[in-house]
Amino acid sequence: MDLDKSMIGISSNPYIAEIDREHVTRFAQAIGDENPLYFDETYANDTAYKGVSVPPTFLVALGSSVELPLKLDFKRMLHGEQEFIYHQPVRIGDRLECTMAVTDVYDRVGKSGTMQFLVLDTEMKKEDGVLAAVARNTIIYRPAQKGGN
């Protein structure tokens, strides 16, 4: 299946991501970030964040099993870019309602021909319905191999 603009707007079912201390701690340790903003409540309370917050790239760890109703060939997919757009701090104890949606599909011509790009945005809202963050993932969708693969 090739990508086309009709896919824009297709979304996943909403799911809940709970931000717990152990997950944040393990993530920060895994990326080697010892910033006390992610561990030390006394320190974090005196910052602009007003509490223990998550590392900026932590959102990538939420929703890795979410499924979109698209039949994509995973062998043709390459990770192109990841972006995190914060509207407010995400903290330990937050419960985020997340929905992933296709927000753009476009083509670019490169040295090896035309490649397609799929942009997926996961909106993450706090329990009060206010948007906390958007995790944007751009996927490069390579041309199908000759012979049907």
Residue 120: inside a domain? yes
Residue 115: inside a domain? yes
**Structural domains of the chain, count:** 1
Residue 148: inside a domain? no
- pTM (2 decimals)? 0.88
61 Cβ partners below 8 Å, 6+ apart? Answer: 23, 27
Residue 147: inside a domain? no
Residue 16: inside a domain? yes
Torsion of Cα atoms, 28 then 24 then 43 then 126, to 10° = 130
Q: Order of strands across the sheet with 77-86? A: 15-18, 95-110, 113-125, 131-141, 77-86
Nearest to 141 by CA among 99, 113, 100: 113
**Averaged pLDDT score across all residues of the chain:** 91
**40-91, pLDDT tens digit by residue?**
999 999 999 888 999 999 999 987 678 888 888 888 899 999 999 999 999 9
Mean pLDDT, residues 97-117 = 91
Residue 112: inside a domain? yes
pLDDT at 114: 83
**26-44, pLDDT tens digit by residue?**
999 999 999 999 989 999 9
- Domain range for residue 41? 5-141
Look up the CATH number of the domain holding residue 17.
3.10.129.10
Residue 133: inside a domain? yes
Residue 12: inside a domain? yes
